[in-house]
Amino acid sequence: MEDHVLDLVRSGGARPEGLLFHGTGESFDTPLRPGGYDGVLWTSTSPAIAQTYIPRAGLTAIVSPPAAWMLDGRIEPEEHSFWYGLARQKGFQASEVERDARGNLRSWRLPEGFPTYRTALGWLADLGYPVQDGSPIEVSMRGEEAMPADWGLSGSLYVTAMDGLRFLDASTGESDLTAPRHNDLALFRSAEEQGYDGIVIDDFMQDDGYGNVGHRSWGLFASAAARLQWVRMPAVRRPWRPGIDDTEDYAAFREGLVEAMAMHPRL
């Protein structure tokens, strides 16, 4: 079955057919299985849609740029301040920090050349974040470390073949935010009891640029998910582009298979 999946990936183009994709930022030591809430493992026929479900970062910081009158002041060593954390990331550390009984700063000593808030904004600009218009900045974090704007959390894109699967198509072609179908647990259990392998619904994904984007989701019930073979490839969240199903990660994996086949025709 895995060889069949690889054959479909290898022979497919930018708009794959006969495949289901599941994107995640989680690591799994066990086979993919449905979640406990709905008993459904959700997939898409588009790797581009599936990868929007990989988090951009495990943690993001929403940062308000300092007021203009603060920009040339030295960064204060507030314990949980984003700006002080950024300064420490750059190797700057305050000394002799004293706080009162409530934890408020009382006094501190800064080394020569300690950065200003303006300098810190420059660091964010160097990382690729927009800092010119004074709007809040969403910074991707790895732990306490600010990462570049184009950095992505390492995730996975799983792919399987949909051959022989029976889906109850409950989609109407129009998603409805006021009554999202992914909460229709009674429908899922009814379809499962009727012997279907899964359910097709109208769904939404969230894209940074386009907001809520309607799409169809193929949900697999536990019995079907258990018998499928999945191929995993490394992937990160990618910006969604209307009408384009391919992604850099999926294209690279597919091209690698094509190259391997050319070198080893028996694969």
pLDDT at 12 over 60: yes
Residue 243: which region, alpha, beta or left (left: phi > 0; alpha: psi -120 to 50)?
Answer: left
Query: Which pair of structure tokens corresponds to residue 232?
Result: 């995993």
pTM tops 0.85: no
Which secondary-structure segment (H or E) carries 107?
strand 105-109
Q: What would the pLDDT profile of 84-100 be if each residue is shown by its tens digit?
A: 999 999 999 999 889 88
CA distance 163 to 67: 59
Classified as helix, coil or strand, 207 is strand
Question: Which pLDDT belongs to residue 192?
Answer: 95
CA distance 103 to 81: 13
Q: What would the pLDDT profile of 171-190 be if each residue is shown by its tens digit?
A: 987 776 677 778 889 999 99
Phi and psi of 122, rounded to 5°? -65, -35
CA distance 46 to 15: 7
CA of residue 103 relative to chain centroid, distance: 36
